[in-house]
C-alpha cells in the first residue's frame, strides 16, 4: 500500500521543505507517495521541489484553482484505501501518519482522522449563529472566556482524555481520509476556493453516519497562514466571508441563513469605522448575493 500525501502549495517556499522532510521521516509500516499540487506560485516553490525532491510527483497548475480543486486532482484517481492531506506550512511528528491510519483501519465508522495541533490552544466548532453573533458584535473581545468555552475545543483537554474524540470537523492542515468514506459522500466541493472546504466535507461525512475524530497521540505543528497572509487583508476577508456564506447555504435551512446574513451585515456596518468603506461594501454585497 502506497498512501498518497497531498500537499497543495501557493508561494510556500519558506515552509515546504520542512513539511516534506517530516513526511519522509515517518516511522510507519506503510509507504507514502507525496503529491505536490502547486497553484501557480510566483516564488521558488516549484524550483525548490524539483531541485531537492526530484522523486516527488509535482503538478503545476497554470492558475490558482483553489484548495479543493487541487486536492481533487489526486483524490479522484486514488486507488488506495486511504489518503492524507497536509498543508505546506505543517510539520508532522514521526508517528502521526501511522497512528491515524491505524485508527481508520480498526474502526470503519471513522471517515476522517486528525491530529492535535501543538501550537494551537483551541480547535473551533463549526460556525453557526451563536458564534457569528459573538464575533460580529465584539462579544468575543468583551467575554473571551465564555466565547472559547462555547465555541471551541481546548486541545489540552483532548490530550488529557487520551481517547479518540469526535469533533465537528478536522483542520485541513492534516487530514487522514478513508477513501471508502470519500466514495460514499463525494470529493471536496470545488465551489469553495479556500476556507471551509474541510468543514463542509466533514459535515457530509457526519451526515452519512461516519465519524470525524482527533487522535490524542498524533501531533503536528502548523505555521498557520504562511501563504495566504501574503495576500492583502481585504482579499483574505472577502475569501473567508464568501466561503462562510457558501457553507451556511449548503448546510443550513433558509431561515437560519437569513438570520446569519442579517447578523453579518449588521456587524459589518459597525466595522465601517475600522476599515475601508469599499471593503465593507464588498463584504455586505457578498452577504446579499452569495
Which pLDDT tens digit goes with each residue over 110-146?
Answer: 999 999 999 888 888 899 999 999 999 999 999 999 9
Cα–Cα distance, 78 to 81 (Å, whole number):
8
Query: pLDDT of 230-273, one tens digit each?
Result: 778 888 999 999 999 999 999 999 999 999 999 999 999 998 88
- Quote the pLDDT of residue 274: 80
Domain ranges for the chain, please list them: 2-124+153-225, 233-289
Cα–Cα distance, 198 to 188 (Å, whole number):
8
31-39 vs 2-9, strand pairing mode: parallel
The answer to whether the beta carbons of residues 194 and 239 sit under 8 Å apart is yes
CA distances from 275 to 135, 140, 217, 242 (A): 16, 19, 42, 18
- Quote the pLDDT of residue 233: 82
| Predicted model pTM | 0.94
- Quote the pLDDT of residue 219: 96
Once rounded to an integer, what is the mean pLDDT over residues 90-103? 97
C-alpha cell at 139: 462579544
The answer to which of 180-189, 206-215, 228-237 has the lowest mean pLDDT is: 228-237
- Quote the pLDDT of residue 20: 97
- CATH number given to 2-124+153-225: 3.90.550.10
As a three-state string, the secondary structure of the chain is CEEEEEEEECCCCCCHHHHHHHHHCCCCCCEEEEEEEEECCCCCHHHHHHHHCCCCEEEEECCCCCHHHHHHHHHCCCCCCEEEEECCCEEECCCHHHHHHHHHHHCCCEEEEEEEECCCCEEECCCCHHHHHHHHCCHHHHCHHHHHHHHEEEHHHHHHHCCCEECCCCCCCEEEEEHHHHHHHCCCCCCCCCCCHHHHHHHHHHHCCCEEEEEEEEEEEECCCCCHHHCCHHHHHHHHHHHHHHHHHHHCCHHHHHHHHHHHHHHHHHHHHCCCHHHHHHHHHHHHHC
Once rounded to an integer, what is the mean pLDDT over residues 79-106? 96
Amino acid at each position: 500500500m502506497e498512501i498518497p500525501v497531498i500537499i497543495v502549495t501557493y508561494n510556500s517556499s519558506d515552509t515546504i521543505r520542512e513539511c516534506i522532510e517530516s513526511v519522509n521521516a515517518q516511522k510507519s509500516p506503510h509507504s507514502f507517495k507525496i503529491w505536490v499540487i502547486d497553484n501557480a506560485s510566483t516564488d521558488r516553490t516549484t524550483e525548490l521541489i524539483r531541485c531537492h525532491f526530484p522523486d516527488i510527483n509535482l503538478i503545476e497548475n497554470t492558475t490558482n484553482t483553489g484548495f479543493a480543486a487541487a486536492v481533487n486532482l489526486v483524490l479522484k484517481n486514488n486507488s488506495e484505501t486511504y489518503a492524507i492531506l497536509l498543508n505546506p506550512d505543517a510539520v508532522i511528528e514521526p508517528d502521526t501518519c501511522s497512528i491515524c491510519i491505524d485508527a481508520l483501519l480498526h474502526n470503519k465508522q471513522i471517515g476522517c482522522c486528525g491530529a492535535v495541533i501543538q501550537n494551537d490552544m483551541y480547535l473551533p466548532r463549526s460556525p453557526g449563529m451563536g458564534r457569528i453573533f459573538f464575533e460580529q458584535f465584539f462579544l468575543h473581545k468583551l467575554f473571551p472566556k465564555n466565547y472559547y468555552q462555547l465555541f471551541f475545543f481546548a486541545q489540552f483537554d483532548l490530550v488529557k482524555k487520551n481517547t479518540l474524540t469526535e469533533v465537528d470537523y478536522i483542520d485541513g492542515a492534516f487530514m487522514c481520509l478513508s477513501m471508502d468514506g470519500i466514495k460514499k459522500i463525494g470529493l471536496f466541493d470545488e465551489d469553495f476556493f479556500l476556507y471551509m472546504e474541510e468543514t463542509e466535507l466533514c459535515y457530509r461525512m457526519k451526515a452519512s453516519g461516519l465519524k470525524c475524530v482527533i487522535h490524542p497521540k498524533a501531533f503536528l505543528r502548523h505555521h498557520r497562514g504562511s501563504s495566504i497572509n501574503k495576500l492583502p487583508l481585504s482579499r483574505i476577508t472577502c475569501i473567508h466571508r464568501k466561503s462562510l456564506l457558501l457553507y451556511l447555504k449548503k448546510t443550513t435551512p433558509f431561515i437560519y441563513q437569513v438570520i446569519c446574513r442579517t447578523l453579518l451585515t449588521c456587524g459589518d456596518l459597525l466595522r465601517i469605522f475600522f476599515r475601508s468603506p469599499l471593503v465593507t461594501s464588498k463584504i455586505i454585497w457578498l452577504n446579499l448575493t452569495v
